[in-house]
Copies of this chain bind each other. A is one copy, B any other.
Amino acid sequence: MAVTIHEVARRAGVSVSTVSRALAVPDLVRASTRDRVLAVAEELGYHPNRAARSLITGRTGNIGVVVPDVANPFFSAVLKGAHARAREAQQVVFLADAAEDPRVEAELVAAMGKQVDGIVLCSARMGDEELERSAGTTPLVLVNRCSPGRPSVLLDAADGMRQAVEHLAALGHRRVAHLRGPERSWSAGERLRGLRAAAPACGVEVVELGPFPPTFEAGLPAADLVLASGATAVLAYNDLMALGVMNRLAVRGVVMPAEMSVVGFDGTQVSAMTTPALTTVAAPTETAGRAAVELLLDLLAHPGRHSDVVRTLPSQLVVRATTVPPLPHAVRAGVPAPLEALS
């Protein structure tokens, strides 16, 4: 069916070894021979059979990417970056969607292990031991999560939180609600940590709500909690939840941003598309995907060398239209502003 190395060898009048070497280690074969072999290979459109190659070398040329949800714009951005970098290195990317389920996640990582050279695992929800177990000996790079002894690419969520809180404090907000992300999520913990660390210094009181799943739908009921909390601004776990909050606020007749400032997180594309445009903490998601693959390739080339590198990418607050100073009486009262008070 397909053209094999034997066919090329036969036509070029050399042995298969020579053909193999002409393609893989050109220096080992005489220039004239190499040229002839290459010409024949080109003419026949020969490409080495990857299965046969990986059977003997043990390398597949594939790298796996596991995300909790491809439809989440944050992850599709990471995926895009990872794919781009992998392609530059002639590697193929295998995608796996864990459907936000730690069990599926572990299963996928374990199953993938045999078919790829390494895995980029995004926002792992599973625990450290489980990670250890399912990854086994497969090289693994974590994104948005860290685990002892494993290389990872982190987005500086804590600092992003600091920027967001300082921004709100500067606007005059004194009571701010935070919508926590998934309990098992490392980055949710980071964001919370950053918030707790920065808020006191700014004189901001934080009302922690949640944890919630990181979805638009979760943002809807969360908005009501926020309103009931007496906060004048809300820091959502991510953009999706922020959108949910905005939506529900509109339904409740709350004027945004005047009566409630909203800050998202991740800087996804959609955050720029809403009206009013969402203030958000942008992270270089696509870059993170690239960096993760970069790290992985490095790890494959020099096993053990960079086994505990942690690369942290900076977050950047993007101020748009959803954050404004709070209404004066809301700040003084520290309680929900009754709707009547506004008319």
Q: Which residues of A are at the interface with B, using a C-beta cutoff of 8 A?
A: 1-2, 47, 49-52, 54-55, 58, 60, 62, 65, 69-71, 73, 76-77, 79-80, 83-84, 87, 92-97, 111-112, 114-115, 216, 240, 243-244, 246-247, 250, 269-270, 272-277
Contacts and interface: CB of A to CB of B under 8 A. Distances in A.
A93 B97 CA distance: 10
B273 A250 contact: no
B1 A269 contact: no
A70 B58 CA distance: 30
Nearest to A58: B1
Contacts of A84: 97
A95 B94 contact: yes
Most B C-beta atoms less than 10 A away, residue of A58, A97, A216? A97
B216 A272 contact: yes
Contacts of A47: 111, 114
A94 B93 contact: yes
11 contacts: A2-B114, A47-B114, A62-B94, A70-B83, A71-B73, A76-B76, A84-B97, A92-B115, A93-B94, A95-B95, A250-B276
Most B C-beta atoms less than 10 A away, residue of A50, A272, A273? A273
B216 A269 contact: yes
A77 B54 CA distance: 32
B272 A274 contact: no
B275 A247 contact: yes
B83 A96 contact: yes
B97 A94 contact: no
A177 to B, nearest CB: 19
A275 to B, nearest CB: 4
Copies in the complex: 2
A95 B80 CA distance: 10
A50 B61 CA distance: 13
Contacts of A96: 83, 87
A1 to B, nearest CB: 7
Nearest to A95: B95
Nearest to A84: B97
B60 A70 contact: no
B51 A79 contact: no
A13 to B, nearest CB: 25
Nearest to A59: B51
Contact of A97 (B60, B83, B97, B270): B83
A319 to B, nearest CB: 17
Contacts of A49: 55, 114
Contacts of A50: 51, 114-115
The 4 residue pairs across chains A and B that have the minimum distance between CB atoms: A51-B54, A51-B55, A250-B275, A95-B95
B60 A71 contact: no
Contacts of A250: 275-276
Contacts of A1: 58
Contacts of A272: 216
Contacts of A114: 2, 47, 49-50
A191 B71 CA distance: 24
